[in-house]
């Protein structure tokens, strides 16, 4: 799978976004609870005009959750990189299981 460079964005839920015009692929890296970068997803069949609308939106997160995420058939996606849960979350889950 092709690597797509991403640029940090101002958003409480999205860490960075990028776009590959040749393959019409949007790359989105999400944020964790404390703002750290987490999982990376690629959304295909994503036109340049859609990327331009996303990156210039008043709220990138709101735009993503309104115009992209609900349309998985229009913009098929794949998790490219799954980040592990932060240690504090893992410890809390383990403590609850004991």
Residue keyed to tokens 């404390």: 34
Residue 6: the pLDDT is 97
- pLDDT digits 0-9 by tens, 2-39: 799 999 999 999 999 999 999 999 999 999 999 999 99
Reduced to 3 states (helix: H, G, I; strand: E, B; else coil), residue 66 is helix
Structural domain boundaries of the chain? 7-97
Number of residues assigned to the chain: 98
Output the CA torsion sign for 68, 71, 72, 73. Answer: negative
């Amino acid at each position: 799978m092709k690597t797509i460079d991403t640029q940090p964005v101002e958003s409480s839920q999205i860490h960075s976004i990028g776009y590959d015009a040749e393959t019409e692929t949007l790359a989105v890296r999400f944020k964790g609870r404390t703002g750290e970068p987490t999982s990376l997803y690629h959304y295909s069949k994503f036109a340049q005009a859609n990327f331009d609308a996303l990156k210039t939106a008043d709220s990138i997160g709101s735009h993503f959750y309104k115009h992209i995420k609900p349309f998985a058939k229009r913009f098929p996606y794949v998790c490219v990189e799954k980040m592990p849960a932060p240690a504090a979350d893992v410890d809390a889950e383990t403590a609850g299981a004991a």
